[in-house]
Amino acid sequence: MLSVHTSPLHQPGTGDAGGMNVYIVELAKQLAALGIEVEVFTRATTAALEPTVELAPGVLVRHVEAGPYEGLAKEDLPAQLCAFTHGVMRAWARHRPGHYDLVHSHYWLSGQVGWLAAERWGVPLVHAMHTMAKVKNAALAEGDTPEPAARVIGETQIVRAADRLVANTAEEAGELVHHYGADPARTAVVHPGVDLGRFRPADGRAAARARLGLPQKAFIPLFAGRIQPLKAPDILLHATRALLDADPALRERLVVPVVGGPSGTGLAKPERLQKLAARLGVTDVVRFHPPVTQDVLADWYRAASVLVMPSYSESFGLVAVEAQACGTPVVAAAVGGLPVAVRDGVSGFLVDGHRPPDYARALRRLIDDGALAARMGAAAARHASGFGWDTAAAATAEVYAEAAAERRRHLRSTHVHR
């Protein structure tokens, strides 16, 4: 596996670490449980890291030196792809021929390296986009920076080179075909999973609130994720203002946690959200928390009355499934993979567009109807139980097998024609 720009060892919610990190870690562990050994190549971001780290039995993380350890933004990394590829090739050269059976690259930067490595080693390339430039650019938040043309070109090359493309949802598969001319026959849909052992209702909302020091009787709409315009936490703040305007008494029992750190284009103005809260006059109800570990995040989900996900673009929306697995309903934008992650009207509400009053209305329904909120919470846990990583890993292993079989057939036919 290749994960150039973010390490599976990084904590999600910090810098560029997010759902993709969780995806790679959990998928790799479950593939190893199926007997598929995994090595993950990622860029070294500190000198303190060991060259190789065992993430789990059968899963090795290899740190490749490519560029300075710190201070490189994701936008600077294309210039380091040559150095990264060199590091991958050096590691490969130490093994017997045929050591690697397949390359699975994640995100377009890794796809560029994967394309070369797979060709050099004579093995199949499986690629997961995670996000796509053309899709992001078609749904930009106001004032957000468009993805560069170099990324569009890079993604187009990878789509052509890959033996198999893995999409999170049927919609994403359709976007690959529509925007990049992908071959539908070489595009497989595999829903990401959720760690159902970690994300579960456990001992309930009251205990989670007690552990986090949150008031028991509060209504708590939670935002959890990287703070950047794409994820749209500002919409939750505007919706909070709308709720308070309509019902000033709600101020006594409203707590709005924003859990996560600035990322991507959000790093340009890291204080933007705090300033917005002050401007809207909601500083007293909004609580900003730095990124937390996965176990603590599970407690935040359990403690919340509802998770709010107003994103402009989501290839899947792992956070939505994690929250539901903890028994918490979700109010989310009807974009990307979120209509698969959330069952509208059953495990939460999907909102068309990004108008704060529409989010305020959905939240008001849950405030006013405790029975509805409880019903949706129970339905959310049931819905999320179908998204285990074991299922995702088995489906991914099938994609690997198909890609390998097709590669063998192609080699045989080439040999015969010679």
Q: Which residues are annotated as a binding site for Mg(2+)?
A: 301-302, 304, 328
Annotate 202-247 with DSSP letters as a single string: TTHHHHHHHHHT--TT-B-EEEES-BSGGG-HHHHHHHHHHHHHH-
Q: Cβ(384)–Cβ(325) under 8 Å?
A: yes
Q: Taking Cα atoms as reference points, which of 169, 359, 133, 172 lies closest to residue 264?
A: 133
H/E element, 297:
helix 294-303
Query: Residue 87 and residue 73: Cα distance in Å, rounded?
Result: 20
Distance (Å) of CA 198 to CA 18, 54, 56, 103, 192: 17, 21, 16, 29, 16
Q: Which two tokens stand for residue 42?
A: 């990622």
Residue ranges for the binding site?
Answer: 5, 11-12, 16-21, 74, 107, 131, 151, 226, 231, 292, 301-302, 304, 314, 322, 328
Q: Residue 276's CB: how many other CB atoms inside 10 A? A: 17
Query: Residue 79 and residue 65: Cα distance in Å, rounded?
Result: 13
Residue 18: which residues within 8 A CB-CB, separation 6 or more?
A: 6, 12, 225, 226, 263
Query: Residue 164 and residue 99: Cα distance in Å, rounded?
Result: 20
Which residue carries 């050269």 as its tokens? 93
Query: Residue 178 and residue 134: Cα distance in Å, rounded?
Result: 10
Query: Residue 270 and residue 141: Cα distance in Å, rounded?
Result: 16
Residue ranges for the binding site for UDP-N-acetyl-alpha-D-glucosamine?
Answer: 11-12, 19, 226, 231, 292, 314, 322
Let me know the angle formed at the C-alpha of 253 by 248 and 255, rounded to the nearest 5 degrees: 105
Residue ranges for the binding site for 1D-myo-inositol 3-phosphate?
Answer: 5, 16-21, 74, 107, 131, 151
H/E element, 156:
helix 149-161
Residue 371: which residues within 8 A CB-CB, separation 6 or more?
A: none
Q: Cβ(327)–Cβ(299) under 8 Å?
A: no
Ramachandran quadrant class, 361 (left: phi over 0; alpha: psi -120 to 50; beta: rest): alpha
Ramachandran quadrant class, 293 (left: phi over 0; alpha: psi -120 to 50; beta: rest): beta
DSSP state of 341: H
